[in-house]
Amino acid sequence: MEKDKVPQDDENLLEGKTKIVQYAIDENGNYIKVLSSGWEPENIALTQAWEVINKKIDTIKSQVLSNKLSPLAYYIEKNMMDVTMLSQLTRIPKRIIKKHLIPENFKKINQNNLSEYAFTFNISVEELINPKI
């Protein structure tokens, strides 16, 4: 792609705050880096991906509100994690995390685990226990 043909879509999802590096050919035939604000197909794909993510978060949110899942499930989904990733970050075994996804078990979590979860999600223990969703 030539330098002057690098896409600069005005509908950039990142609202112009971030540019993407594209490689293009300059007038001498050399590859150079050119900043791009994105292009329509990329923006469409990103929009669709965020719609799927937000739909999953809404589903988990409703399950937390109806007491089918603990607030831990909401924060796992909101932070785009899974049980394995959370286990690796907190060093809490996966089987324990899975138990904590059950509301009755979540109410019995010890302070150390609550603190570890809160730290990992960058929230307070109070927000973890009583999420504002």
CB neighbours of 114 closer than 8 A, spacing ≥ 6?
125, 128, 129
pTM of the model: 0.75
> Per-residue pLDDT for the chain (133 aa), expressed as one digit of tens each?
778 777 677 665 555 566 778 899 999 999 999 888 777 787 788 889 999 999 999 999 999 999 999 999 999 999 999 999 999 999 999 999 999 999 999 999 999 999 999 999 999 999 999 998 8
If DSSP codes are grouped into helix, strand and coil, which group holds residue 132? coil
pLDDT, one tens digit per residue, over 41-50 is 877 888 899 9
Q: Read off φ and ψ for residue 48, nearest 5 degrees.
A: -65, -40
**Architecture of domain 45-129 in CATH?**
Orthogonal Bundle (1.10)
Domain segments of the chain as ranges: 3-38, 45-129
